[in-house]
């Protein structure tokens, strides 16, 4: 590290001595090569190295699968309206598609995206239902209702394409 790269925190508490840092940020191309490499590697490693379980642990991932299990095929906007509307939903759809749990058909004519759950996705959703049934202790009589009853009440009747 060079001497000019070291900097102590001034009394004002600012790390950068430029008064208008938010108005004129550093361009990525103007950063030293070392820093560009660190920032590029950090960005790549964040999403690419996650396991399937880590991806499924994400917020709304299981809700999307359960919703698609009951309502598939649906328009992508239906998932946004009925499950969640968050800024990284496209990443969630991409992760589910990469895992082979859903397929997204992009239509050029109507500029629409149709989302369908795959057989693998249906098996995962069924396993989630089994887990919920065990937690709710449906077979032992301790729970109040089964997972499929809860899903049916929340998302409507199940319809599978023939």
Question: Which whole number is the average pLDDT over 25-48?
Answer: 74
- Tell me the backbone φ, ψ of residue 61, rounded to 5 degrees: -60, -50
Q: Which CATH number goes with the domain that contains 99?
A: 1.10.10.10
Within-domain flag for 132: yes
Q: Which residues constitute the domain of residue 72?
A: 53-155
Within-domain flag for 107: yes
Name the most confidently modeled range: 19-28, 70-79, 141-150.
70-79
Residues 115, 101: contact at Cβ < 8 Å?
no
Average pLDDT, the chain: 75
Question: Which whole number is the average pLDDT over 4-21?
Answer: 55
What pLDDT digit, counting tens, does each position of 130-144 carry? 888 888 886 555 545
Residue of 3 and 31 predicted with greater confidence: 31
Within-domain flag for 24: no
Question: Which whole number is the average pLDDT over 28-53?
Answer: 75
Question: Which whole number is the average pLDDT over 77-96?
Answer: 88
Residues 6+ apart with CB under 8 A from 120: 99, 100, 101
Overall number of domains in the chain: 1
Within-domain flag for 64: yes
Read off the pLDDT band of 118 (50, 70, 90). Answer: very high
């Amino acid at each position: 590290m060079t001497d000019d790269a070291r900097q102590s925190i001034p009394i004002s508490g600012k790390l950068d001595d430029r008064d208008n840092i938010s108005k004129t940020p550093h361009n990525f191309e103007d950063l030293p090569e070392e820093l560009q490499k660190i920032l590029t590697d950090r960005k790549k490693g964040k999403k690419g190295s996650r396991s399937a379980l880590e991806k499924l642990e994400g917020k709304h991932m299981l809700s999307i699968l359960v919703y698609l299990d009951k309502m598939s095929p649906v328009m992508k906007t239906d998932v946004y309206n009925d499950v969640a509307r968050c800024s990284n939903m496209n990443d969630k759809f991409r992760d589910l598609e990469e895992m082979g749990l859903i397929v997204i058909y992009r239509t050029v004519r109507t500029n629409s995206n149709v989302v369908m759950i795959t057989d693998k996705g249906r098996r995962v959703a069924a396993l989630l239902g089994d887990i919920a049934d065990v937690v709710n202790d449906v077979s032992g009589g301790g729970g109040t209702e089964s997972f499929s009853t809860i899903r049916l009440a929340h998302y409507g009747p199940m319809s599978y394409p023939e």
